[in-house]
Structure 1
Amino acid sequence: MTDHHHSHDDHHHNHGVTEPDDSAMAALLDLDAEVLHTFLSDVTSDLARLSPDRPPHRILDLGSGTGAGTFALLQRFADAEVIAVDRSPELMDHLRDKARERGVEHRVRTVQADLDGAWPALDTVDLVWASASVHHLADPDRGLREIFRSLRPGGLLAVIEIAGFPRFLPDDVGRGRPGLEARCHAAMAEARAEHLPHLGSDWGPRISRAGFTIEAERPFSIDLRPPLPEATGRYAQATLRRARSHLAGALSADDLATLDHLIDNDAPDGVLRRDDLHVRVERTLWAARRP
């Protein structure tokens, strides 16, 4: 289970379909964490407020990808250890390398597992973090029941889900036809309806049916305007490049040519050099407690 898949929508650390290029996915996930670090800080701060008397010590990160959630949680909870679970061996290797670079390898354990199969045998934990991952499960209701069993009584579940991949471009971008990014989103949404039917679900009722008590539901409208972090251009390029790989046949030849130009490393007005990028992302946190 990877915390992401297809671009971002399918981004956010994933499951269900083997990634054709995990190295590209690793770069995309790292850029997402770098550009949206404030969002991660806000979410972990919310979880800390929900655990004032008993901060989590054992944490399970499901669909950990390259560790955006793992490292945000380790920073927030100084005494915590994280079990990071993902389907991809390459992303697991990348996460372990990052843990060593940050000097926290002794606080991280990695487990490779396909959560549509046998659930890994793990000790009970205090907090489960599932960021952009439960919608990739073939049977998310079964997954939530397994999560319930993994948590100690009183433990917390944090489900973070996405509405789609981020938007970066001004509305007037498009060769003779404004609205290129909107058309990309529409085409991706049509493809997702078949391959990711659980994306965009209302997770509150499903979490409650699994036995949890919902303690918080918080939407995040992330809106980053210039001046933006240096990595933003590379983040936009990686996201649009991944989207492009799924859009052949879904967009006009002119739209595909414009998209190819925008993600070209050498294009003078490509996303690597534009000063009018604007990052817009919608994500929602559901925090729930096992009674």
Structure 2
Amino acid sequence: MSQSETTAMAELLELDAQVLQSYLAELVDWLGDLSDGAPARIVDLGSGTGTGTLALAQRFPRAHVTAVDLSPQMLHRLTEKASALGLAGRVRGLRADLDQGWPRTGTSDLVWAASSLHHMADPGRVLAGAFDHLRPGGLLAVTEMSFFPRFLPDDIGVGRPGLEARVHAALDSGPSVDWSPHLERAGFRLEAARPFAIDLRGSLPPATARYAQVCLRKLRSHLGREFAADDLAALDAVLDDDSPHSVLRRTDLTVRTVRTTWAARRP
């Protein structure tokens, strides 16, 4: 990943954490209820800028969290944020390529992998590593996005109703992975697979408009020439800062998506 791509991804991750804060708090509380005692040693696999790392460190005030990521830029952002929140003594960044083997994390009570396993060349090997480095009774949480967030009303006011739905349909890569059989093959006992339906309306977090713009720009970058020219022009108008239809000016945004977490225990 280039420097510019890393910077763009870091902004997307940080906006995601800001806008979906209530969902994240609900997820972390749920994992706390499933844990057999407050976890003291936590590992975040593919931590990015630290969404999960920091949420877990704040939810479990006695826990030490190891954030594992390949990108030194991501880890630098994470450690800066941890320091600003007074968490530097309990959060450490560890640069590692999980495709090359399990890093030196020691034994953990909780392993967290949010939207990271599907990037691995061999997810089964990573899950086997998680199993080996969890204590008996320890919990693994794997989260995946069912579909990219949606923000726009059906009629966006530029004569192309249903635009966002067509963008998603053009880029749909099929059903998301069900991690249940993969977890069971690695030796885990599945505790629950819980979908979290996110539907934010009305008074939205301040970062929502920029989050929508960044997400839609990412989708726009993947659209090919086969996508209708009129739809591309309408989408560009929505993404243009100066357009009267710009997503930054809209008062009718929502945030709709589904994220599923598989919680599994080492027997």
Sort the TM-score into its range (normalised by shorter chain): over 0.9
Q: Residue 65 of structure 1 aligns with which residue?
A: 48
- Measured after TM superposition, the shift of residue 27 of structure 1 is 1.0
Q: Which residue of 2 aligns with 1:202?
A: 178
Distance apart, 1:251 and its partner CA: 1.8
Distance, in Å, in 2 between the alignment partners of 1:118 and 1:207 is 18
1-structure distance, mates of 2:115, 2:166? 23
Question: Which sits farther off after the overlay, 68-77 or 258-267?
Answer: 258-267
Answer whether contact 1:62 1:128 (CA < 8 A) is retained: yes
1:134 Cα shift? 0.9
**Residue 286 of structure 1: how far off its partner (Å):** 0.9
Instruction: Write out per-residue CA displacement over residues 248-270 of structure 1, whole angstroms, 9 at most, x where no aligned residue.
Output: 42422222221111111222221
Instruction: Provide the rounded CA distance (Å) in 2 between the counterparts of 1:29 and 1:218.
Output: 22
Query: TM-score normalised to the size of structure 2?
Result: 0.95
Structure 2 residue aligned with 1:286: 262
- What is the aligned counterpart of 2:10 among 17, 26, 41? 26
Aligned pairs (5 A) from 1:66-215: 66-173=49-156, 175-190=158-173, 200-215=176-191
> Which of 211, 230, 237 matches 2:206?
230
From the superposition, tell whether residues 86 and 250 of structure 1 become closer, same or farther in structure 2 (CA, over 3 Å): farther
Q: TM-score, normalised by structure 1?
A: 0.87
In 1, the alpha carbon distance for the partners of 2:155 and 2:21 equals 28
Contact 1:60-1:128 within 8 A present in 2 as well: yes
Secondary structure at 1:165 match in 2: coil
Q: Distance in 2 between matches of 1:189 and 1:86?
A: 27
Note if contact 2:156-2:245 (Cα within 8 Å) is conserved in structure 1. Answer: no
- Aligned-partner SS, 1:284: strand
Relative to structure 1, is the Cα distance of residues 27 and 143 closer, same or farther in structure 2, using a 3 angstrom cutoff?
A: same
Q: Could you tell me how far apart the structure 2 residues matched to 1:143 and 1:105 are?
A: 27
CA apart distance, 1:176: 3.2
1:240 to 188, 213, 216: 216
How many residues matched? 267
The answer on 1:39 being equivalent to 2:27 is no
Post-superposition Cα deviations, 1:201-259, rounded to whole Å, max 9, x if no partner, equal 11111111110111121111100011211111011011111111111424222222211
What residue number does 2:236 align with?
260
- Residue identity in the other structure for 1:126: D
Q: Does 1:216 pair with 2:199?
A: no
Cα pair 1:248 1:256 within 8 Å, conserved: no
- 1:177 Cα deviation after fit: 3.1
Supply the distance in 2 between the matched residues of 1:237 and 1:128 (Cα, whole angstroms): 32
Displaced runs of 4+ in structure 1, greater than 6 A? none
Structure 1 stretches of 5 or more lacking a match? 1-16, 194-198
Change over 3 Å in CA distance of 1:28–1:289 after alignment to 2:
same
Q: For residue 246 of structure 2, give the secondary structure of its aligned residue in structure 1.
A: coil
**1:118: how far off?**
2.7
Alpha-carbon distance in 1 for matches of 2:157, 2:122: 39
C-alpha RMSD of the superposition: 1.7
Equivalent residue of 2:143, what SS? strand
